[in-house]
């Protein structure tokens, strides 16, 4: 079995600071205020997909490579500024590091599939203190859609662990995480760190606030 994790709101409690910094960087580079933009209204809820769709809508063109580079750099600068101001904004979800260690000890294969760019993903994982150095990580620097990112995560895992996976479970916090898991035939386990109950309202059977109950989560892995 392959266990795939999202990052923001799933491994790290960085959803709010990530959104804040991305929207601030977007306005700085493109002069477009997207504070009121709901990600659920977009086709591809990834850093690449969000940028492309909004610029197509607002400017009737694709972003240039230089604009992507400038946006990413600004985004990273703002994340670093927020970390310097308040490191607790980048805390790992409770029990996440211990749960990853527990899964490794139990012989599970683990990977990461995040909607964020590689540089921002690496920054958040590093400062959160999570031990993920040897875990394959697919991100929005590789592909635009979440579906492609998850497929890439599986491919990287097959290379890393030297085998094909007949079954995979995806841990995520967003409604789009659940939707894409259903589309791809992945079992899904939800994280509701902020207790907003969105996933439960969608009918997700297994939703946890954190990872502290290792044994209970492991029991539902096959039924996620």
Q: Please give the pLDDT value at position 54.
A: 98
Taking the C-alpha atoms of residue 114 and residue 121, their distance in angstroms, rounded to an integer, is 7
Helix, strand, or coil (residue 73): helix
Q: Please give the pLDDT value at position 179.
A: 92
Which sequence spans correspond to the domains of the chain?
Answer: 2-14+89-223, 16-88
pLDDT in tens, 86-138: 999 999 999 999 999 999 999 999 999 999 999 999 999 999 999 998 999 99
For residue 222, is pLDDT > 80? Answer: no
Q: Please give the pLDDT value at position 223.
A: 57
pLDDT tier for residue 140 given thresholds of 50, 70 and 90: very high
pTM for this prediction: 0.94
Strand ranges (DSSP E) for the chain? Answer: 2-5, 109-113, 137-138, 168-172, 187-191, 207-208
Which CATH class for the 2-14+89-223 domain? Answer: alpha beta
pLDDT in tens, 174-191: 999 999 999 999 999 999
- Report which of 142, 212, 139, 206 is spatially closest to residue 178, judged by C-alpha positions: 206
Q: Please give the pLDDT value at position 133.
A: 87
For residue 159, is pLDDT > 60? Answer: yes
Q: Please give the pLDDT value at position 138.
A: 98
pLDDT in tens, 29-60: 999 999 999 998 999 999 999 999 999 999 99
Query: How long a stretch of residues is the chain?
Result: 224
CA torsion 150-155-158-164 (nearest 10°) is: 80
For residue 224, is pLDDT > 70? Answer: no
């Amino acid at each position: 079995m392959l266990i795939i994790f999202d990052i923001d709101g799933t491994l790290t409690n960085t959803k709010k600071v990530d959104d804040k910094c991305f929207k601030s960087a977007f306005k700085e580079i493109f002069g477009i205020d997207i504070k009121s933009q709901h990600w659920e209204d977009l086709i591809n809820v990834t850093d690449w997909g969000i940028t492309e769709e909004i610029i197509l809508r607002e400017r009737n063109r694709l972003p240039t490579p230089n604009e992507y580079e400038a946006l990413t750099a600004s985004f990273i600068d703002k994340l670093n500024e927020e970390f310097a101001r308040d490191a607790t904004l980048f805390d790992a979800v409770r029990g996440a590091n211990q749960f990853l260690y527990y899964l490794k000890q139990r012989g599970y294969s683990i990977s990461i599939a995040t909607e964020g760019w590689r540089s921002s993903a690496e920054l958040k994982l590093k400062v959160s203190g999570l031990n993920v150095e040897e875990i394959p990580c697919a991100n929005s620097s590789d592909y635009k859609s979440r579906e492609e990112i998850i497929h890439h995560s599986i491919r990287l895992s097959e290379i890393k662990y030297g085998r094909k996976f007949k079954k995979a479970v995806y841990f995520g916090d967003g409604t789009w995480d659940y939707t894409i898991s259903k589309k791809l035939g992945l079992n899904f386990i939800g994280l509701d760190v902020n207790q907003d109950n969105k996933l439960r309202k969608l009918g997700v059977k297994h939703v946890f606030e954190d990872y502290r109950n290792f044994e209970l989560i492991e029991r539902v892995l096959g039924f996620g």
